[in-house]
Amino acid sequence: MEITVVYEGESIQLHVTKDFPIRTLVALAHEHLRKADDEEKNSLDLFVNSKSIEFNDTTTIQSLGIKQGDVISFGPSDYNNAKSPYVSPPRSPYTTLDKVQKQALQSNLKTGVENVPESFNTTGMAYIRLAINGVEVLTLVDSGAQVSILTSSAAKKCKVKDLIDPRWKEKAVGLAGKSVDALGTIMYCDIKVGEQTLSGPLSVLNPSVTEVDLILGLDFLFRYKAVIDLGKRRVTFDDGEPIEFLTEEEALKISAFKVEED
């Protein structure tokens, strides 16, 4: 349906659906029409055809009984005593809701770039350099992983593939809820971290599941009292020497093992 939104003598015509939230309409109107300061915005009331209306986060166009051609306006509580706000024509013959939303998105982008510019750069992953049987493996420190995972190709390269016990098969569940059955578990494996040695079980999965050789999950992180310092980009195990996260360039030099499976 088509409605007219009026604020401070300026107006726009919008195409909206019946279930469109009033709260969103208010935000779009403030963004597109003449801007008020924050205090003034908070004190404005909503009027439909000059009748004061109360609304909340669940109020929609339909729940207020707004119909095609109705006029929605914003003003102070004594709005009805003020002069008619309809003296000015629309600032453009026709403005679509899509245009208003695009303007709101652009304004929000500008605010984001100005206030949190670092968020618009690629965030490096928490990669570290570990070793199994003296073979360097690209490792991701992942506090979102319940168990630690080694790829079967890395297990082969590190000569621990014969230790994979097929009787113990963990089920890995990804972000989208997709589950992957493990090939088995290495029940005890030593991992060299700097001058320290971490030991524990590793679930073994097909290398297609992850882009790294090893995912160090919560089982190891809890066992060795890991402290992840994102500000300094490093992780510490058992009060040992901090292990610096690798840069993307350093991580690329330790490319994950992609070998043919037997």
Residue tagged active-site, from 37, 45, 70, 142? 142
Torsion region of 36: left, alpha or beta (phi above 0 gives left; psi -120 to 50 gives alpha): beta
Alpha-carbon distance of 5 to 13, in angstroms, equals 6
Residue 195 is encoded by which pair of tokens? 């001058």
Residue 165 bears catalytic tag: no
End-to-end CA distance of the chain: 64
Please count the other Cβ atoms lying within 10 Å of the Cβ belonging to residue 186.
Answer: 22
In one-letter notation, the amino acid at residue 244 is: E
Asked if 90 contacts 13 with a C-beta cutoff of 8 angstroms, the reply is yes
Pairing verdict, β 227-229 and 234-236? antiparallel
SS3 of residue 68 by DSSP: coil
191 strand-pairing partners: 198
Active-site annotation, residues: 142
